């Protein structure tokens, strides 16, 4: 981690104490940040009496199996599905708040604009979502 952090060349999502590819945040922190970024978020609830062992199971904002759509932010650009402008701006703002040069943002899928609901974020998204344009953007950031 220290070596990755020390690399002098451009690094997308430089290593951090919370993760080797940038901060790997808990879902409670992601949903909090997403709300601050202006993205529509579901109510997050966590209780000390919850019967969940987070050492073996992750908390989710939506039930397992909920269809999701992923957008990916690279710098100032967003790749993936066509997004309403308000959602697009929220994605960029979330990446800024998270200090992430590369960020995958998941939404629970719905046909209407009002149905775009934040479902999670990761500094290590599946890059296939953005295809060649995304790879070109990454290359521009790196070289």
Q: Which residues bind other proteins (CB under 8 A)?
A: 1-2, 5-6, 15-18, 23, 26, 28-29, 31-37, 41, 43-54
Q: What is the dihedral of CA 93, 70, 1, 99, to 10 degrees?
A: 0
Q: Could you tell me the two tokens for 116?
A: 């775009």
Evaluate whether 71 touches 79 at the Cβ level (below 8 Å): yes
Supply the minimum distance, in Å, between the C-beta of residue 56 and other proteins.
10
Closer residue to other proteins in complex, CB, 8/65:
8
Supply the minimum distance, in Å, between the C-beta of residue 9 and other proteins.
15
Closer residue to other proteins in complex, CB, 111/114:
114
Closer residue to other proteins in complex, CB, 9/43:
43
Closer residue to other proteins in complex, CB, 33/74:
33
Secondary structure (3-state) at 25: coil
Supply the minimum distance, in Å, between the C-beta of residue 26 and other proteins.
6
Closer residue to other proteins in complex, CB, 43/64:
43
Closest CA to 120 of 86, 47, 71, 74: 71
Q: Could you tell me the two tokens for 94?
A: 């979330």
Evaluate whether 92 touches 72 at the Cβ level (below 8 Å): no
Supply the minimum distance, in Å, between the C-beta of residue 120 and other proteins.
14
In angstroms, the CA 39 to CA 4 distance is: 31
Secondary structure (3-state) at 69: strand
Supply the minimum distance, in Å, between the C-beta of residue 2 and other proteins.
4
């Amino acid at each position: 981690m220290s070596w990755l952090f020390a690399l002098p060349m451009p690094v997308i999502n430089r290593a951090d104490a919370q993760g080797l590819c940038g901060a790997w945040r808990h879902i409670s922190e992601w949903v909090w940040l997403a709300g601050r970024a202006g993205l529509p978020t579901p109510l997050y609830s966590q209780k000390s009496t919850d019967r969940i062992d987070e050492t073996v199971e992750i908390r989710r904002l939506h039930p397992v199996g909920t269809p999701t759509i992923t957008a990916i932010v690279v710098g100032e650009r967003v790749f993936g599905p066509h997004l309403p402008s308000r959602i697009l701006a929220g994605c960029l703002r979330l990446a800024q708040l998270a200090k992430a040069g590369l960020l995958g943002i998941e939404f629970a899928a719905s046909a209407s604009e009002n149905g775009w609901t934040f479902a999670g974020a990761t500094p290590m998204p599946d890059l296939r979502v953005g295809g060649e344009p995304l790879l070109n953007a990454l290359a521009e950031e790196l070289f």
